[in-house]
Every structure is written in C-alpha cells, then in structure tokens.
Amino acid sequence: MKIKKLICMILVITILFISSGASNLAQAATSMPTVSSHAYVIMDSNSGNILYSSDPDKKIYPASTVKLLTALVAMENCDLSKKMTIDKNILSKIPYGAYVVDLKAGYTYTLEELLNMLLVSSAADAADTIAVGVAGSKEKFAMMMNKRAKSLGLENSSFDNAIGRDGENYPNTYSTAHDIAKLTRYTMTIPLIREIVAKPEYMIKKYDGNDSKTILNSNRFLRGQPYDKKSYKIIGGKTGTTLLCGNSLTVSATTKDKREVICSFFGNDGKENMYIDIEKLLTATFKNYKKGKIELEKGYVDTRYSDSREIINKYIDKNILKTNSLLTFNPEKKASKKTFIKLCNEILDTSYEESKSKEDITLLDMAKLLSNYKVEKYSIRTKLKYWIKLSHTNEHFTDMVHLYELDVLPSDYSYKEKSTITRAEMMEILDSLSKIS
C-alpha cells in the first residue's frame, strides 16, 4: 500500500510540474516586452478583443486622449460647417499648462477647422471653443460627454472638461486604458476623425491678419519617429500629457493585409521612452500575429458595430468581399443591381446575367431575379395570405409571393415592390439564401 501511495504522489507531482511548465511555455510564447507604464491595452480593432494588457482597468488620468470624445460629441451634435468665433473670455479661462495654438479673439472658424486643431495639435483653445459653441457652456458639454461615454460602454470613466485636464480643479476626469481603447475603436470608425488624426500637420488659415499658421501633429509617429514600417503602418491617434497622467498615446496601426490593432498606452517614464515602448508592443504584437500565435480579425472599419458584421466578415474571409484602401463597406448605402447580381452568382453559385446598372435594386428586381431559385408551387391559401398586401404587383404577384416565402428578407418593407435595401441587408439576404436546402 505504501508503494502504491508513493507512486501516486510521484504521478501527481509529475503532472503538476508538466502542467506548470506547459503554462509557463504558453505565456513565454506570447510574452511581451517589458515597458514602463501605468497601464496599457492592445486591442484587435475589428473584434474588440484585448490581445495584451497591463492593468487595463486601473484608474488612470486620460489627459488629451479625451479629445477623441470631445470631437465625437461635437460632430454628432453640430454641423461641421457651423461657424464659431474665438471668445476672449473663453481664452482667459483655459487652464494653465494646457497646450494652445494661440488662437486670436474675434476670429471665426468652422467646427471642422476647429476639429483639425483639436486632434492634430491637441489645442485646448479649440476644445473649449467647441464645447461652448456646441452646448452653450463647458459644463453642459461635459454632461454630453458623459452621456455619450456611457452609451459607448466606457464603464469606469468620468469627464468634467473637454480638454482632459485633471487634478484638484478637475476631480471628475478619470478613465482606464481599457475604456480609452474602446473610445479609440469607435472613433476610428468615423471617416473624418480617421482622416484628421492621420495628418502630420495642418494649416490654420486666417490665423493673424493675412497670415496662416502651420501646426504639427503631436503624435511623433507621424513625423519621423522610428517604427517597423515593413510590418505595419501607424494610422493615427491621440496624445495626452499631464503630471498625473504622465505621457500617453492611444494609436491605431494596420498591416498590409488589413488587420488593425489599437494600443492605448499610459506611460510613467519620459515621452521619448513612451514612443519606444509603444513601438516595442506593436512590433511584438504583429510578429506574434505573423507567427500564428494570436488571431486578428479582418474586417471593414465601418462595419465594426454593424449587426451584420459577422456575416460580412465571413465573406471577406472567403475572399468574396474585397477590402479597399479605406477599409470601408458602406453598410447603410443602398445596394445596386450590379453588386447584388454579382454577389448572388458568387455566393449562390448561380449564373444570372450580370448587370452594369448602378441603380438601386428593388424588391421587385429581386423577385424577378430569384423567381426560379428554389421555386415551389404555392397553394391558393398561401397566395391568399399575400393577396391584399401584394395585389398591386399584378403580373409579378407570384414572383413577389415567392420572394417573401423564401423567408430571407430582414424586413417586410411594407410589401412595397419599389422598396430598396442597404448593402448590409443585401449580405443578410444572400447569406440566408445560401442556407436554403
């Protein structure tokens, strides 16, 4: 009995040792470089999954990374062409130490111009001008920011100013690396924000008299800071610096095969080391992807929050849907006859005559096209179910009945034959058709 107990103990110890060793090896296989940070998150932009992190939910001070939210709230609540005049009272109340582009009182700029100043060089004078111009006061704008943050799922964040100031005078501005990564993921789906944060510089017209002023992007990666450009491209993002925050940057980077990653980094060392550390993390992440140690989802920027994202991504993976340089699918745009028929032939293996028409495809167009697809002989009872709803379709009544009986439409479209569909709905319909046996 003693020998059996001894053997059992040896087996248990051996199994535990092997398991521990396997676990350590697994961690070593995807280990990340040592960096100096309060916290960081590396996120797959398309799936939203966290790939690597350090204290992702620790309370941090976001500094000017907040200005991504400032821009989002402004764009969603104000026309880009609205003109806002620089007010000397606003300028006089900008917190000491906040970076400004030294805008002159009395000059007028559009919201779009101010957004460029806000996101390119992190201008606090632009931030407060936007806040007052959009909401009427800085306090009301902060309320709008918090409401929008909550809707984005920023669960551990609070904001009391549009600039990103913190400390005793601004006790209710705080966040986490995870929340800022979420904010970055969403705002980088907005074409204008994505375009602005990628600019190395911006020219302010009508700056002082007839003079203009060129401001540089605060993100050094866009101005020559070294990184592994053969492996990935840094698109842009937002910097931030305060005494409590340290040096921070939330940034998006993409590979040639259209995989995109976010690094939201809050450093506790100097600015130069922050850039070196972020480069280390991004380079290691993309190397691990290339070696097959992690998965990165391929997808379109503008379908990240679409209900049809999984369906759309499925056909990207099958190489039926192609990604363009802008990584856009335009899911809410109307589907054309040309695109619908082309994808129909590829997904359903049909051989319908292709169309060159860029006109929107209608329900009647689809009904006529699919009239012989998985066709059935419908009973009088079935037809009577649609008689009142579809009687106006006259000669194409049977085709319309067949379309509805296929049960692939995401909506009844009020049974109007001239109803059109979006590109996202097109993919839902074609995917459902492919599953009919």
Q: For 12-31, write each residue's pLDDT tens digit.
A: 444 444 444 433 333 334 68
pLDDT band at 326 (very low <50, low <70, confident <90, very high): confident
Identify the weakest region by mean pLDDT among 97-106, 227-236, 270-279, 390-399: 390-399
pLDDT band at 375 (very low <50, low <70, confident <90, very high): confident
Taking the C-alpha atoms of residue 123 and residue 117, their distance in angstroms, rounded to an integer, is 6
Does the structure show a pLDDT above 70 at 64? Answer: yes
pLDDT of residue 257: 87
pLDDT of residue 23: 34
Residue 389 CB burial class (10 angstroms; 0-12, 13-18, ≥19)? middle
The pTM assigned to this predicted structure is 0.88
What value, to the nearest 5°, has the Cα angle with vertex 352 and ends 356 and 396? Answer: 95
pLDDT in tens, 181-217: 999 999 999 999 999 999 999 999 999 988 999 999 9
Does the structure show a pLDDT above 90 at 228? Answer: yes
What value, to the nearest 5°, has the Cα angle with vertex 90 and ends 84 and 91? Answer: 105
User: How large is the average pLDDT for residues 236-251?
Assistant: 97
User: Is there a contact between 284 and 299 (Cβ–Cβ < 8 Å)?
Assistant: no
Q: Which residue has the tokens 């396997």?
A: 22
Between 30 and 403, the higher pLDDT residue: 403
Between 250 and 7, the higher pLDDT residue: 250
Query: Percent of the chain at pLDDT above 70?
Result: 93
User: How large is the average pLDDT for residues 395-414?
Assistant: 94
pLDDT in tens, 266-322: 999 999 999 999 999 999 999 999 999 999 999 999 999 999 999 999 999 999 998
pLDDT of residue 308: 94
Q: Mean pLDDT across the chain, nearest whole number?
A: 92
Helix (H, G, I), strand (E, B) or coil at 42: strand
Per-residue tokens: 293: 């140690």
Residue 121, CB half-sphere, CA atoms under 13 Å: how many?
21
Domain coordinates of the chain in residue numbers? 37-290, 301-434
Helix (H, G, I), strand (E, B) or coil at 164: coil
pLDDT of residue 327: 86
pLDDT band at 394 (very low <50, low <70, confident <90, very high): confident
Give the largest CA-CA distance in the chain. Answer: 98
Residues 6+ apart with CB under 8 A from 294: 30, 51, 285, 288
pLDDT of residue 15: 43
Does the structure show a pLDDT above 60 at 250? Answer: yes
pLDDT of residue 437: 77
Taking the C-alpha atoms of residue 208 and residue 329, their distance in angstroms, rounded to an integer, is 42
User: Is there a contact between 263 and 250 (Cβ–Cβ < 8 Å)?
Assistant: yes
pLDDT band at 4 (very low <50, low <70, confident <90, very high): low
Q: What is 37-290's CATH number, 3.40.50.300, 3.40.30.10, 3.40.50.2300, 3.40.710.10?
A: 3.40.710.10
User: How large is the average pLDDT for residues 364-376?
Assistant: 94
Nearest residue to 238 via CA among 194, 299, 270? 194
Identify the weakest region by mean pLDDT among 215-219, 325-329, 373-377: 325-329
